[in-house]
Amino acid sequence: MDRRAFAGLMLIEAMLAFGNTFAASFNLIYLFKHLDMPIWTGPIYLGMGFFISIFVSLWMSWKPHLDPRNAMLVGLLFLIVEYALFLTVRDGWLLIILVGCSFGLFYPLFWTPMNILMAQLTDKDDRGVTYGAFFFVWPLVTFIAPFFGGVVIGWASYQVLFALGIIIIGMTALMIVAYRKYIPKDQVMKIRLEVIGRRNVVSVLGEGGFEGVFWIDITIIAYMFTQSELDLGALFSLFGLAAGVMAVILGKISDKIHDRRTFVVMSTLASVPCALLIGLSDTLDQFAIATGLLEFAAFAFPMFVFAILTDKFEEAKNDSVLVREYLLDIGRAGSIGLLVVLLYLGVSPQHCFLLTVPFLLMGAFAWEPKKGARPLPGVAGHADQLH
């Protein structure tokens, strides 16, 4: 592994994680508190975004090749547009529609190339621990970013928060430009559902469904318990650090024993009672504890499913990343749609969180080839090494 390439990707991810969660943690709160939008409307822009992402993934699969450098920069441009919209648009419905479109272009254009580069830095002997390290960057950074976001809102305003978010994302784009020579130009990727196995399709759809509800409903429930931005920032920060170190340790173990599915099953099944506890919490303290436990239990789930898919596509890592993103976005868009309907019908956000349970159980269906199985052949034109 090229240490400079690894360090560069880690730094890019850390900068984006800080800039994005610093401001984006409060997007829904801004809609509810300052634009007086009903609770059920908040998730709509994210549901729109992931729905658009599905078609961006299909476009990536159709293109003869993609330059990850340009794609990531364009993706960050759309994220900057998203924050600029929060700064300038005062009509709630218009903001939801425009931000949904911006988010739907940012997410796949940045994260699919980013995850491709991450996958290319791994092999079966270090994939678990490497993915653990990459996945740990996000909770490590988000342990402090939302708290600082809450401080900025309390000290200044939402407008200052979103302006600072734009600056940090702009600096992230400059980091990609500086890192440009380590990023390969032409990448080929195809969505090949027929070869990943039906059980893995179910598992990844379950992961996406879980994330769609979890990422949004946790914020809404927290808002129901406390509407102080400073308290919310501290609460969101607490959620972030619950399980990162354990993921790195488990990733290292999985590399040695060549067994990732066991950790997926353990993670998903352990997460179910934690999700039930969130749905039954009566106080902020109970909710915080239950959420921390869920963060700890569920953290390994997406990491090891990702590793299983990459193991299966060892000679075509790009395909594993694209098919994963495609299925995740289908699951996310679908579960967010269900969440919006339930909230509109008057179901409490805590009871809505019980939607995560069936999706977690779907995640346990993940399957990996037995030891010694041949990896799937690549597609001509793949460039699976950084240069």
CB 296 within 8 A of CB 98: no
* Residue 385: pLDDT band with limits 50, 70, 90: very low
CB 104 within 8 A of CB 48: yes
Instruction: Give the per-residue pLDDT at 132.
Output: 79
Residue 355's identity, in one-letter code, is L
Determine the average pLDDT of the residues in 341-367.
Answer: 95
Residue 167 pLDDT greater than 90, yes or no: yes
Instruction: Give the per-residue pLDDT at 70.
Output: 92
Sketch out the chain's domains with CATH numbers: 3-363 (1.20.1250.20)
Determine the average pLDDT of the residues in 224-249.
Answer: 62
Rounded Cα–Cα distance for residues 100 and 47 (Å): 8
Fill in the DSSP letter of residue 90.
Answer: -
Rounded Cα–Cα distance for residues 170 and 176 (Å): 10
Fill in the DSSP letter of residue 280.
Answer: H
Two tokens at 83? 């924050």
pTM: 0.89
Instruction: Give the per-residue pLDDT at 227.
Output: 62
Least confident of 232-241, 318-327, 351-360, 378-387: 378-387
Determine the average pLDDT of the residues in 329-348.
Answer: 97
User: pLDDT above 70 covers what percent of the chain?
Assistant: 87
Rounded Cα–Cα distance for residues 23 and 41 (Å): 19
Nearest 5°: CA angle at 192, between 189 and 247?
80
